[in-house]
Amino acid sequence: MNQILVTEKLYITPEIKKKKKFYKFEFFISLVLVCVLSSYYIYAEYNKNKEEEISQDILAQTDIVGEDQTIKKDDKLVVMLDGDVTANPEVEDTLDEANQEIMEQEYVTIGGEKYSPIASVEIPKINIKYPILSETTVELLKKAPTKFWGANPNEVGNFCIAGHNYRNKKFFSKVPTLEKGDIIIITDYQKGRTVKYSVYDKYTVDENNMAPTSQLTSGRKDITLITCTNDSKNRVIVKATEVI
């Protein structure tokens, strides 16, 4: 017996046509969004790598070998009231010419901000070494770690250094992994000294908490590293003191 196949005619209603157009539009918008987000991510990564190159270029131009100050020496130190520290005039006259040249080097950001490197920071455990720029601004933080507040590099007081957490291996991204006893090396470009510091504390504070920048160090040379938590809501504080 022959079977008769009957095909029903499919009627496309106006409502179905609207749905098809809507789905096509949704697909197009999704595709555009994917392209935009991908482009943004690629651009952001490019910028991070570019700033890293700039930072390392500055470091290459300022890289010097300073005197190892991990052994205590009978240096003269003049400390003024209100936390001001001044250099000994006798020492000032003997500054290395190369270091003076480094201090006098001036760079300009795209936005027109002038800055100069004042020191370098090296942390062997997380394999980083960067210049430290003279002041903290939004634009300069993109270039390298910066002096946030406090004493000058390797002087009595609390030298506070801010650095971006790029959530990778760049700048201070790995600083939150530091532990008690880890070594941080600061070389200042004014006197050409290299001082080693040992981490003694690490904690997290609210972004408005300025207590970690206190200069009350009881005559010690301390440093404070400051960076963001991974969610950027709080600040990771790493405290270190001079190894004597």
3-class SS letters over 24-66: HHHHHHHHHHHHHHHHHHHHHHHHHHHHHHHHHHHHHHHCCCC
Task: Check if the beta carbon of residue 227 is closer than 8 Å to that of residue 165.
Answer: yes
Secondary-structure class of domain 29-242 per CATH = mainly beta
The domain ranges of the chain are 29-242
Residue in the structure block whose two tokens are 């201070």: 172
Residue 131's closest CA among 75, 60, 196? 60
Residue 123's closest CA among 54, 178, 202, 192? 178
How far is Cα 68 from Cα 83, in angstroms, rounded to an integer?
Answer: 25
Per residue in 144-174, pLDDT (tens digit) is 899 999 999 999 999 999 999 988 888 899 9
Q: Phi, psi at residue 36, to the nearest 5°?
A: -65, -45
* pLDDT class of 71 with cuts at 50, 70, 90: very low
The verdict on pTM exceeding 0.85 is: no
How far is Cα 62 from Cα 101, in angstroms, rounded to an integer?
Answer: 9
Residue 187's closest CA among 58, 65, 86? 65
How far is Cα 204 from Cα 227, in angstroms, rounded to an integer?
Answer: 10
CA dihedral angle for residue 196, residue 186, residue 66, residue 133, rounded to 10 degrees? 180
* pLDDT class of 106 with cuts at 50, 70, 90: confident
Ranges of H-type helices in the chain: 14-62, 89-92, 97-104
Per residue in 21-69, pLDDT (tens digit) is 666 666 667 777 776 666 665 655 555 555 566 565 655 554 544 443 3
Residues in the chain: 244
What one-letter code names the amino acid at 211?
A: A
Q: Does the pLDDT of residue 203 top 90, yes or no?
A: yes
Residue 116's closest CA among 127, 107, 126, 125? 107
Q: Does the pLDDT of residue 229 top 50, yes or no?
A: yes
Give the mean pLDDT of 183-198. Answer: 95
Residue 143's closest CA among 135, 155, 151? 135
* pLDDT class of 120 with cuts at 50, 70, 90: very high
Please give the pLDDT value at position 104.
57
* Percent of the chain whose predicted confidence (pLDDT) is above 70: 58
Query: CB within 8 A of 183, min separation 6: which ones?
Result: 123, 124, 125, 196, 197, 198, 199, 243
Please give the pLDDT value at position 79.
19
How far is Cα 210 from Cα 181, in angstroms, rounded to an integer?
Answer: 24
